[in-house]
């Protein structure tokens, strides 16, 4: 019995970088839990900045303005370092599975990436602790031929990703290759999934 049809959604990976006939199965950013500490840091910085600004307002001119400028400058540097930079790092980190390979991209100024052809993958497994299970994330570990195992942290829905890759390696991708109803609506999936495209037409099926 054929699996449920996956909905087509927006995919951020340039199609021009794909091989002929290659299609994107899933495209994810790391789980949002990696942004929890930056968000908390931002709230603390803003709260502390407001408190110090109130104290500075009691200082006699012109030192009150000097203190306010210093507080603002320090706060801005901390916000860029502890909040903005982690967000950009999260936004520019991509984990992509296509019909031919697994792709990882990271970085803005210094861009790094790795491509793992499906035919070179020996095994794939996942790990997640109690906190990861609560957030629905985990670590995906891929072992490929003649290379050390590659570890990808904070993968949303890591168990489903593991299953998708396993089916690509060991099963016919046209059989039971689907997701639960309600997982994807309007092309926008849970936990930062950007889009899933349909697999090619099964040559075994009639026209």
Question: In which band, very low, low, confident or very high, does the pLDDT at 146 lie, cut at 50, 70 and 90?
Answer: low
Question: In which band, very low, low, confident or very high, does the pLDDT at 126 lie, cut at 50, 70 and 90?
Answer: very high
Q: Are 61 and 144 members of one domain?
A: no
| Angle CA 7–11–15, to nearest 5 | 120
Q: Is residue 8 part of a domain?
A: no
**Residues spanned by the domain of 42:** 36-88
**Residue 157 maps to which CATH number?**
2.30.29
What are the φ and ψ backbone dihedral angles of 181, each rounded to 5 degrees? -60, 140
Taking the C-alpha atoms of residue 129 and residue 126, their distance in angstroms, rounded to an integer, is 10
71-91: average pLDDT: 94
CB neighbour burial string for 112-144, b if at least 16 within 10 angstroms, e if fewer: eeeebeeeebeebebebeeebeebbbbbbbbeb
46-55: average pLDDT: 93
**160-185 pLDDT, tens digit each:** 999 889 888 875 544 444 444 444 33
Q: Which two tokens stand for residue 147?
A: 């290379």
What are the φ and ψ backbone dihedral angles of 134, each rounded to 5 degrees? -65, -40
Q: Are 26 and 118 members of one domain?
A: yes
Q: Are 66 and 109 members of one domain?
A: no
What are the φ and ψ backbone dihedral angles of 108, each rounded to 5 degrees? -120, -65
Alpha helices in 57-140 (DSSP H): 63-79, 85-91, 130-135
**105-114 pLDDT, tens digit each:** 998 888 888 8
Q: Is residue 132 part of a domain?
A: yes
Q: Are 178 and 128 members of one domain?
A: yes
As for how many domains the chain has, the answer is 2
Q: Is residue 204 part of a domain?
A: no
Q: Is there a contact between 5 and 178 (Cβ–Cβ < 8 Å)?
A: yes
Q: Is residue 10 part of a domain?
A: no
CB count within 10 Å of CB 187 equals 16
What angle do the packed helices 36-56 and 63-79 form, to 10 degrees? 180
pTM beyond 0.85, yes or no: no
> Residue 189 has what pLDDT?
40
**CA atoms within 13 Å, Cβ hemisphere of 115:** 8
> Residue 83 has what pLDDT?
95
Q: Are 69 and 124 members of one domain?
A: no
Q: Average per-residue pLDDT in the chain?
A: 78
> Residue 111 has what pLDDT?
85
């Amino acid at each position: 019995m054929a699996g449920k049809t996956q909905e087509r959604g927006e995919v951020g990976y340039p199609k021009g970088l794909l091989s002929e006939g290659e299609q994107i199965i899933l495209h994810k950013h790391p789980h949002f839990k990696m942004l929890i500490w930056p968000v908390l840091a931002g709230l603390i910085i803003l709260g502390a900045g407001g408190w110090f600004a109130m104290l500075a307002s009691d200082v006699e001119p012109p030192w009150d303005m000097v203190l306010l400028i210093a507080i603002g400058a320090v706060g801005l540097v901390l916000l860029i370092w502890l909040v903005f930079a982690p967000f950009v790092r999260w936004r520019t980190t991509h984990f992509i599975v296509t019909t031919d390979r697994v792709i990882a991209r990271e970085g803005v100024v210094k861009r790094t990436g790795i491509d793992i052809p499906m035919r070179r993958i020996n095994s794939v497994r996942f790990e997640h602790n109690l906190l990861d299970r609560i957030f629905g994330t985990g670590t995906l570990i891929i072992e490929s031929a003649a290379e050390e195992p590659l570890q990808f942290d904070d993968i949303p829905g890591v168990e489903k990703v593991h299953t998708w890759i396993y089916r690509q390696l060991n099963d016919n991708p046209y059989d039971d290759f689907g997701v639960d109803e309600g997982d994807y609506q309007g092309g926008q999936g849970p936990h930062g999934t950007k889009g899933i495209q349909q697999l090619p037409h099964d040559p075994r099926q009639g026209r």
